[in-house]
């Protein structure tokens, strides 16, 4: 008969001994080896790997041992103890996740009955069955119990009746990638509640919502349903907050998620002759990651040999000293990352800088830090403890099925290495890329390295690994450095100084190119560079067509930083200020003073140029916590934009007063979104009159008023609105989704929602025809497309507004336009049979 031993691992010796005494009551004299490894030698709470190892050896009579543990570091210490055991003994040990007291009682009885090791462990796992059936809960059996407990959307046992649950669907195109996940974690951490999430679509286990790395392992993709549950004083507020945040797409502005990139192009071996290496078989497959031609001598960033090499003494240490060292190292990294974030926001862009918010969260991620701290408490050195925790989290992310989420493993590694270097006192020779010139070839770049690339010196980037959605690639695009990634480790063999040519739009990579190939690439590079230089040199000049018509080119902005960027790229005005940025992600609305201050700040950052303040454009799809709205089946057709503002006049009145006050200080266009009926406009204008009266001064002379045209009905009846407005601004993003009945957030109908569809162009034309003296602008994404410039001007549009970086190129495109020819082109485009036909027409013109 098997003679299985039991070991009890607990933080508390008295708890373990009492539990063992209780279980022995059931044995009725039978002899079962039950050993305790609990508490520390000085009588305090804790677990000790060496004591656990000794207890296992003691309990083992040849038929193996089942170990039951209480929580947290008890598990980690036991895992560590296994590493110290002889191989033969280790193979006879089962770590059993059963509840300690109930599991122990059942396990001791089973062992006493002569069951084998697996059967003893399975019995222990079923130990809650009696209690569950008594209390009426479902009672899954055997190994299924743990999985079911993890997956079931029921409150965790200690949460009791106060558990609040809800679910939401993630609509962000890339799912819960770093930025939205970071936003979710920040939100969850702000409530006095324990909040957990699971991916209901994949039936994942529950994870803490305050752990970025755990949230990332849920693998939430666009369209996945996520369940949320919370216990604690603010459980309801926490759940509501997360549901509202999800409805706002985690405050991720449209278009901020990484753009989709051209499909990878397999290079022929002739195109990738890597000098100095003899290769056979598979050639590397460079993936286009940042458009543009880069030609120059290779500067190869070889892997840092110190990476991940821990000194022999890194594995043990004094718990207090190692805890202090880890805390200090994290604090030092926090300061460095915060500084990188500031400089990235200033020199690259606010959106790109948000990568570093995710890094800051990872530094404090409970999943990482708790494990590292538990290992330190169990006697491991800080560096080894941190490295082990990072390795676990990194490999969990790398194993996710979605390539975008896999790429987040690089972020974990970047932060992990940063802290490790700090702990080991190693400076990374590659951390500072300043002074590097030519085509930079590297394994991978950390986001901080990529943010530090100097586009004046680094003409191209070739990464052996990485992906186009990694932050290094996103930052290379933002810095305007042509890049290919995933080129294979062979590229690291490129001899320093060898000429490398790459096309970041196609993925073409040529090492040591033949003269004719070099000449062809150089021609492309020269043409592209000349075009960009010409555009940049003239960025601040007005865009005047060949026949003398001035077209205003504005920027769409959502922060003061964006306004600075718009000024840098020569925008003539802010053609769209999405004022929601000031209202989202907070628990109460900004007051009139705060709004005025921010609006004036935006105008100042733009050097006093005109700003177009769009009034609050939120609603059922983007609810505000302080503006509860009934749930709507079709929020895009519901109470959003001007409809919401008119339904909640208090909020609207304050915003209008802030706009009036701002317009006394700087030129302002006031713009109402989602207007569909004349009555909406006249009501809004009456409220504007009230705001002027409340301000007490005459109406500001520099205040102009207009509407966004997003509702097809408004486009068709522009003539009705024209007498009441100074301008129309066509929001082609929403207009297209309404005209084509194709949800702009639903990838399944992306192809239908094409702003080049002749139906959309026809409505643009209808607005221009009905506008009378009012100026017609376009501020949807279509405006940023250089190829659209001629057709829009031909239709009668006289202002285009877009993301700041697109301004110089669109101005340059407008300068090539002849209005007469553009009108003919527009007529042909409107008569085309499809969006594709329009695109082909424009490509040929
Ligand atoms: C639009 O709908 O085209 C637009 C510019 O507004 P938003 O993208 O903010 O909805
Ligand atoms: Mg819109």
Q: Whose CA is nearest to atom 9 of ligand 1?
A: 578
pLDDT of residue 637: 93
753 in contact with ligand 1, CB cutoff 6 A: no
Q: Which residues participate in catalysis according to the annotation? A: 471, 779
Q: Whose CA is nearest to atom 8 of ligand 1?
A: 733
pLDDT of residue 455: 82
Q: What is the pLDDT of residues 692-722, one digit of tens each?
A: 999 999 999 999 999 999 999 999 999 999 9
| Cα separation, 571 vs 609, whole angstroms | 9
What is the separation of C-alpha 15 from the centre of its chain, rounded to a whole number of angstroms? 44
194 in contact with ligand 1, CB cutoff 6 A: no
641 in contact with ligand 1, CB cutoff 6 A: no
Give the Å distance between the CA of 256 and the centre of ligand 1.
13
Give the Å distance between the CA of 486 and the centre of ligand 1.
35
Tell which one of 575, 643, 710, 712 to mutate to probe ligand 1, the residue whose CB is within 8 A of the most ligand atoms. Answer: 710
99 in contact with ligand 1, CB cutoff 6 A: no
DSSP-assigned beta bridge partners for residue 551: 543
| Rounded alpha-carbon distances, angstroms, from residue 493 to 374, 478, 498, 697, 756 | 41, 28, 11, 72, 46
733 in contact with ligand 1, CB cutoff 6 A: yes
pLDDT of residue 158: 43
**Which ligand is located closest to the Cα atom of residue 575?**
1
580 in contact with ligand 1, CB cutoff 6 A: no
pLDDT of residue 189: 82
DSSP-assigned beta bridge partners for residue 295: 501
Q: What is the pLDDT of residues 732-767, one digit of tens each?
A: 999 999 999 988 766 567 668 889 999 999 999 999
430 in contact with ligand 1, CB cutoff 6 A: no
The answer to whether 39 touches 11, Cβ cutoff 8 Å, is yes
254 in contact with ligand 1, CB cutoff 6 A: yes
| Model pTM score | 0.51
Give the Å distance between the CA of 793 and the centre of ligand 2.
21
pLDDT of residue 152: 34
The answer to whether 490 touches 484, Cβ cutoff 8 Å, is no
| Cα separation, 455 vs 480, whole angstroms | 7
Task: Give the ligand 1 atom nearest the CA of 732.
Answer: 3
Tell which one of 640, 708, 730 to mutate to probe ligand 1, the residue whose CB is within 8 A of the most ligand atoms. Answer: 708
Task: Give the ligand 1 atom nearest the CA of 733.
Answer: 3
Q: Whose CA is nearest to atom 3 of ligand 1?
A: 731
Residue indicated by tokens 């100042």? 604
Burial bucket for residue 566 (CB in 10 Å: 0-12, 13-18, 19+): buried
Beta carbons within 10 angstroms of residue 520's beta carbon? 14
Burial bucket for residue 762 (CB in 10 Å: 0-12, 13-18, 19+): middle
Give the Å distance between the CA of 315 and the centre of ligand 1.
55
Task: Give the ligand 1 atom nearest the CA of 556.
Answer: 5
Diameter of the chain by CA atoms?
105
The answer to whether 597 touches 835, Cβ cutoff 8 Å, is no
**Which ligand is located closest to the Cα atom of residue 780?**
1
pLDDT of residue 129: 65
636 in contact with ligand 1, CB cutoff 6 A: no
- Counting as low any pLDDT under 50, the low residues of the chain are 137-161, 256-283, 306
779 in contact with ligand 1, CB cutoff 6 A: yes
| Cα separation, 363 vs 357, whole angstroms | 10
| Cα separation, 308 vs 383, whole angstroms | 10
Tell which one of 171, 173, 252, 254 to mutate to probe ligand 1, the residue whose CB is within 8 A of the most ligand atoms. Answer: 254
What is the separation of C-alpha 290 from the centre of its chain, rounded to a whole number of angstroms? 19
pLDDT of residue 253: 62
| Cα separation, 561 vs 348, whole angstroms | 10
Tell which one of 557, 575, 577, 578 to mutate to probe ligand 1, the residue whose CB is within 8 A of the most ligand atoms. Answer: 578
| Cα separation, 810 vs 358, whole angstroms | 33
Burial bucket for residue 578 (CB in 10 Å: 0-12, 13-18, 19+): buried
Helix (H) or strand (E) holding 611: strand 611-614
pLDDT of residue 159: 42
Geometric angle at alpha carbon 484, from 479 and 490, rounded to 5°: 135
**Which ligand is located closest to the Cα atom of residue 803?**
1
Half-sphere exposure of 776 (CA within 13 A, CB side): 26
Q: Ramachandran region of residue 219, left (φ > 0), alpha (ψ -120 to 50) or beta?
A: left
| Cα separation, 570 vs 535, whole angstroms | 10
- Give the per-residue SS3 of 315-352: HCCCHHHHHHHHHHHHHHHHHHHHHHHHHHHHHCCHHH
């Amino acid at each position: 008969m098997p003679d299985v031993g039991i070991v009890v691992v607990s933080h508390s010796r008295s708890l373990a001994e009492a539990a063992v005494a209780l279980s022995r009551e059931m044995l009725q004299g039978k002899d079962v080896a039950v050993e305790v490894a609990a508490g520390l030698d000085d009588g305090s709470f804790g677990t000790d790997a060496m004591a656990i190892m000794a207890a296992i050896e003691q309990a083992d009579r040849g038929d193996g041992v089942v170990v039951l543990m209480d929580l947290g570091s008890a598990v980690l210490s036991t895992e560590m103890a296994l590493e110290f055991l002889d191989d033969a003994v280790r193979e006879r040990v089962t770590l059993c996740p059963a509840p300690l007291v109930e599991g122990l009682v059942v396990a001791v009885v089973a062992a006493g009955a002569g069951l084998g090791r697996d059967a003893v462990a399975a019995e222990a796992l079923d130990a809650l069955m009696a209690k569950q059936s008594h209390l009426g809960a479902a009672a899954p059996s055997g190994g299924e119990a743990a999985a079911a407990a993890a997956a079931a959307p029921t409150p965790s046992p200690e949460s009791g009746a106060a558990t609040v649950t809800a679910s939401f669907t993630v609509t962000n195109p890339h799912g819960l990638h770093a930025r939205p996940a970071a936003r979710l974690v920040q939100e969850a951490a702000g409530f006095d509640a324990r909040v957990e999430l699971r991916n209901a679509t994949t039936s994942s286990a529950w994870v803490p919502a305050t752990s970025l790395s755990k949230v990332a392992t849920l693998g939430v993709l666009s369209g996945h349903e996520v369940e949320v549950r919370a216990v604690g004083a603010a459980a309801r507020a926490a759940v509501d907050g997360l549901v509202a945040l999800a409805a706002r797409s985690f405050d991720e502005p449209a278009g901020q998620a990484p753009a989709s990139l051209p499909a990878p192009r397999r290079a022929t071996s002739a195109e990738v002759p890597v000098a100095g290496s003899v290769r056979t078989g598979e050639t590397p497959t460079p993936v286009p990651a940042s458009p543009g031609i880069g030609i120059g001598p290779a500067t190869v960033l070889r892997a840092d040999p110190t990476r991940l090499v821990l000194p022999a003494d890194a594995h043990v240490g004094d718990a207090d000293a190692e805890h202090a060292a880890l805390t200090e190292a994290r604090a030092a990294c926090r300061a460095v990352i915060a500084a990188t974030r500031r400089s990235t926001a200033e020199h690259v862009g606010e959106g790109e800088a948000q990568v570093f918010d995710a890094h800051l969260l990872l530094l404090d991620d409970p999943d990482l830090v708790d494990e590292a701290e538990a290992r330190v408490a169990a006697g491991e050195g800080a560096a080894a403890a941190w490295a082990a925790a990072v390795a676990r989290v990194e490999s969990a992310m790398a194993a996710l099925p979605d390539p975008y989420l896999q790429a987040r493993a690089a972020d974990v590694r970047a932060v992990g290495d940063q802290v490790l270097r700090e702990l080991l006192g190693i400076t990374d020779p590659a951390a500072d890329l300043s002074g590097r010139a030519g085509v930079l070839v590297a394994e991978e770049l950390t986001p901080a390295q990529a943010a530090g690339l100097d586009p004046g010196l680094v003409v191209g980037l070739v990464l052996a690994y990485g992906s186009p959605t990694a932050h290094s690639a996103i930052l290379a695009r933002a810095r305007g450095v042509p890049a290919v990634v995933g080129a294979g480790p062979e590229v690291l063999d490129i001899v320093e100084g060898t000429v490398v040519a790459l096309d970041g739009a196609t993925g073409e990579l040529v090492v040591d190119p033949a003269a004719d190939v070099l000449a062809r690439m150089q021609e492309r590079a020269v043409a592209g560079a000349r075009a960009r230089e010409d555009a940049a040199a003239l960025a601040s000049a007005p865009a005047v067509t060949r026949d003398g018509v001035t077209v205003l080119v504005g920027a769409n902005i959502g922060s003061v930083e964006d306004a600075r960027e718009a000024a840098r790229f020569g925008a003539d005005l802010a053609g769209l200020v999405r004022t929601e940025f000031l209202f989202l992600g907070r628990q109460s609305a900004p007051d009139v003073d705060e709004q005025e201050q921010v609006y004036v700040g935006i105008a100042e950052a733009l050097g006093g140029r005109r700003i177009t303040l769009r009034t609050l454009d939120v609603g059922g799809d983007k609810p505000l916590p302080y503006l509860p709205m009934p749930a709507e089946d079709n929020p895009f057709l519901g109470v959003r934009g001007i409809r919401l503002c008119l339904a909640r006049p208090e909020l609207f009145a304050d915003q209008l007063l802030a706009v009036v006050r701002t317009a006394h200080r700087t030129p302002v266009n006031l713009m109402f979104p989602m207007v569909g009926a004349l009555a909406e406009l006249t009501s809004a204008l009456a409220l504007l009159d009230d705001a002027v009266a409340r301000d007490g001064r005459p109406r500001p002379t520099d205040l102009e008023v207009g509407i966004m045209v997003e509702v097809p009905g408004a486009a068709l009846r522009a003539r009705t609105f024209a007498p009441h407005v100074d301008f129309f601004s066509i929001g082609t993003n929403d207009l297209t989704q309404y005209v084509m009945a194709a949800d702009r957030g639903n990838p399944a109908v992306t192809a239908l929602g094409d702003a080049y569809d002749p139906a959309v162009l026809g409505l643009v034309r209808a607005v221009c025809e009905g506008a009378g003296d009012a100026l017609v602008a376009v501020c949807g994404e279509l405006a940023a497309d250089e190829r659209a410039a001629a057709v829009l001007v031909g239709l009668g549009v006289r202002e285009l507004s877009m993301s700041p970086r697109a301004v110089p190129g669109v101005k340059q495109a407008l300068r090539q336009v002849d209005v007469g020819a553009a009108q003919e082109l527009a007529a042909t485009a409107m008569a085309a049979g499809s969006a594709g036909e329009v695109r082909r027409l424009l490509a040929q013109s």
